[in-house]
Amino acid sequence: MEDGQDAKIVVDGLNAWYGSVQALRDVSLTILDRKVTAVIGPSGCGKSTFIRCLNRMHEVAPHTRVQGKVTLDGQDIYAPGVDPVTIRRRVGMVFQRPNPFPTMSIFDNVAAGLKLGGLAPKAYLADIVEKALRQAALWDEVKYMLKRNGTALSGGQQQRLCIARALAVEPEVLLMDEPCSALDPITTLAIEELLQELSREYTIIIVTHNMQQAARVSDKAAFLFMGEDRTGFLVEYGDTKEIFTNPKDPRTEGYITGRFG
Amino acid sequence: MRQALIKEQAQTPGKWWRRWLRWPASSGDWVFQTLTLLAALCLVGLLVAMALYLLAEAWPSVTLFGPAFLTSTAWDPVRGVFGALPAVYGTLATSAIAMIVAVPLSMGVAIFLAELAPDWLRAPASFLVEMLAAIPSVVLGLWGLFVMVPLIRDPVEQWLGGNLGFIPLFQGPPFGVGFLAGGLILTVMSLPLITAVARDSILAVPNSQREAMLALGATHWETISRAVLPYARSGIIAGVILGLGRALGETMAVTMVIGNGYQVTLQLFAPANTMASKIATEFNEASGDVYIGALVELALVLFAVTLVVNIIGRLLVYWTVSDTSTRGQ
């Protein structure tokens, strides 16, 4: 495929609505396997809506609608008869604000996804939890307090706990909706380093408001923008280096140089 | 903000009682403060006065029977011998039946209303549940006596006695009125309370919790049972305690369907009495210090039982909440 690399997700003519308000119009792009793709753009341009369409989380909110085609390894995830649950097992998600389960211990938070569907591999549970926490660069900080409550952690630790929780079920794709927006610069840096590590095994799509962050962590970048009608659309998609050094569209250039947005 | 205010007031110079009451140092606030303080004192005073009055009225019975009042099963106005055990047992048994039936049922209704019901059904169904709470208990009692009790007597108790009669609970003649009828009418009365509180605490669970579970690949049911209900559990327990409080103290409707027996038995079909129904039934015709004293002492016991149950409930909420924040420390 593109650059001789494998396509993981192909989005073709994606439209999304909240009630009668259209949030996304005709977005088409190809997400590459085991690369970090950044989704950038001004507030309200549909970045979050876009990634929520990739694991069928958009439809969780009431009165929402999706139109268009999204394929994951060639399988149309919106085809009739496709259970969104199976899609979400393959496409994990980390949210903007840390949302650990407050009634569960740190261990149980990470194991929560593994215990779903009644097929908890009890023997390996501890191993998988440890691996996920190591991947999320949290293991050393919590290894002696796994039975403590997840909300006892700091904000940055909670976010890494949520990343570990998403990684524990070994998804193929990890969607991250501004995962660092509530975090301090040091923790942000830790999570950015984490992304580099993770991109060896996972396809990562990250929504971010932070231009430097997008430039630092991503291989590909998609710039979404919105018109007067507040409906988001894709302006430009390409290699991050190209987007940031030699944008083709004047709107992209204006946004990344900070002239608006 | 509040902390700062408290600190400031604690350092305010003045008489000890001014500091103790957090009395405003120098402002027009004192009018408002005085009014609210008086209101608060009224409440405390009322409670203390009530307890003292009850104790004074009950005194002939308290001195005559001593602690044996609680363990005796006798209730004989002619010989002047009184004991509270069957009434205490009746209150606890009917409330237990009510909770066993009402808690699962109202959890189902609350989950349906908060998580599953289509939009057009949500508001009218919630309204109906709240209406159920507004029915006067004497009306429910009439319905219980004329509609529910015959139904309990014929299909329900006949069938249970015929098919499950080997269990002591379902032995004895099917009177219709009795523990079972009392428990079921209390179910109807506590159901809307538990449902409303449980529904509100489920609705108060942040959406991020649901999305977190869904994004892990959870089904709708897994999301509710593993993310929503655990998050809402202290509110749900509080609702159950509220319902239990109503069941323990309810008088009119229970009196009408419980059958006015006085016994400690496992047989659910047997006529019984609760503390509240016993008092309501006999207070009018009671004569003599000891008889009246025994009824008032029954009221004191009811007071104490309700208090103990509420304290246990509060502790339960406290434990489940603190459990989530300090577990494993």
Q: Chain A residues within 8 A (CB-CB) of chain B?
A: 55, 57, 60, 62, 85-86, 88-89, 92-93, 95, 97, 99-105, 112-113, 115-117, 145-149, 151-152, 162, 165-166, 169
Q: Which of B174, B124, B131 is closest to B149 using CA atoms?
A: B174
Given a contact cutoff of 8 angstroms between Cβ atoms, the answer to whether A194 and A162 are in contact is no
The interface predicted TM-score (ipTM) is: 0.91
The more confidently predicted of residues B161 and A1 is B161
Residue A260 confidence (pLDDT): 60
B256 and B108 fall within a common domain: yes
Task: Find the Cα–Cα–Cα–Cα dihedral B280, B282, B287, B290, rounded to 10°.
Answer: -80
CATH number of the domain bearing residue B266: 1.10.3720.10
- Distance, C-alpha B196 to centroid of its chain: 14
Average per-residue pLDDT for chain A: 90
Do B211 and A105 count as a contact with CB atoms less than 8 A apart?
no
Beta-strand pair A232-239/A220-226: antiparallel
* Residues B233, B105 within the same domain: yes
pLDDT (tens digit per residue) in A125-149: 899 999 999 988 899 999 999 999 8
Last residue of one domain, picked from the residues B47, B65, B83: B65
B114, B198: one domain: yes
**Last-in-domain residue among B17, B34, B65:** B65
pLDDT band at B13; cut points 50, 70, 90: low
Segment B115-150, tens digit of pLDDT: 999 889 999 999 999 899 899 999 999 999 999 999
Distance in angstroms (rounded) separating the CA atoms of residues B138 and B144: 9
**From start to end of A42-129, where are the E strands?**
64-72, 75-76, 91-94
What is the tally of structural domains in chain B? 2
Do B224 and B284 lie in one domain? The reply is yes
Smallest Cβ distance to A60: which of B211, B230, B324?
A: B211
Looking at the structure, tell me whether residues B42 and B178 fall in a common domain: no
Looking at the fold, whether B58 and B111 belong to one and the same domain comes out as no
- Residue B329 predicted with pLDDT over 50: no
Question: What residues of chain B lie within 8 A of the CB of A103, using their CB?
Answer: 230-231, 233, 324
Block residue for tokens 């085609």: A69
Bridge partners for A207 per DSSP: A39, A177
Distance CA A31, CA A11 (A): 8
* Residue in B209, B214, B217 closest to A101 by CB: B209
Which range in A40-44, A177-181, B76-80, B110-114 is most confidently predicted, on average pLDDT? Answer: B110-114
Q: Count CB-CB contacts under 10 A for residue B89.
A: 20
Return the half-sphere exposure (C-beta side, CA atoms, 13 A cut-off) of residue B107: 17
Domain positions in chain A? 2-256
- Cα-Cα-Cα-Cα dihedral sign, residues A103, A106, A112, A115: negative
Q: Are residues B33 and B148 in the same domain?
A: no
Q: State which of B35, B50, B65 marks the end of a domain.
A: B65
Phi, psi (degrees; rounded to nearest 5) at B21: -90, 5
Buried b or exposed e, range B92-115, using 16+ CB within 10 angstroms = bbbbebbbebbbeebbebbbebbb
Distance CA B296, CA B279 (A): 8
| CA B161 – CA B103 distance, rounded (Å) | 25
Count of Cβ atoms closer than 10 Å to residue B233 Cβ: 17
Note whether B238 and B174 are same-domain residues: yes
Region A82-89: what's the mean pLDDT?
A: 93
**pLDDT for the residue numbered B325:** 45
What is the span of the domain harbouring residue B244?
71-326
- Dihedral over Cα of A138, A144, A147, A148: its sign: negative
Question: Contact, A159 vs A179, CB < 8 A?
Answer: yes
Dist CA B124 CA B329 (whole Å): 46
Residue type, A146: L
User: If pLDDT is split at 50, 70 and 90, which confidence band does B326 have?
Assistant: very low
The pLDDT, as a whole number, for residue A124 is: 83
Closest A-chain CA to B327: A148
Q: Which residues pair with A224 in a beta bridge?
A: A234
* CB-based contact B88:B276 (threshold 8 Å): no
Considering only CB atoms, which chain A residues are within 8 Å of B329?
148
**pLDDT at residue B194 is higher than 60:** yes
Q: What 3-state DSSP class applies to B222?
A: helix
Q: Where are the alpha helices (DSSP H) in A112-260?
A: 122-135, 139-142, 155-168, 185-198, 211-217, 240-245, 250-256
CATH 3.50.50.60 describes domain A2-256: no
Mean pLDDT of B50-54: 91
Please check whether residues B163 and B251 belong to one and the same domain: yes
The conformational region for residue A34 under phi > 0 = left, psi -120 to 50 = alpha, else beta, is left
Q: For testing the chain A interface, which of B216, B222, B233, B236 should be mutated: the one with the most A CBs within 10 Å?
A: B216
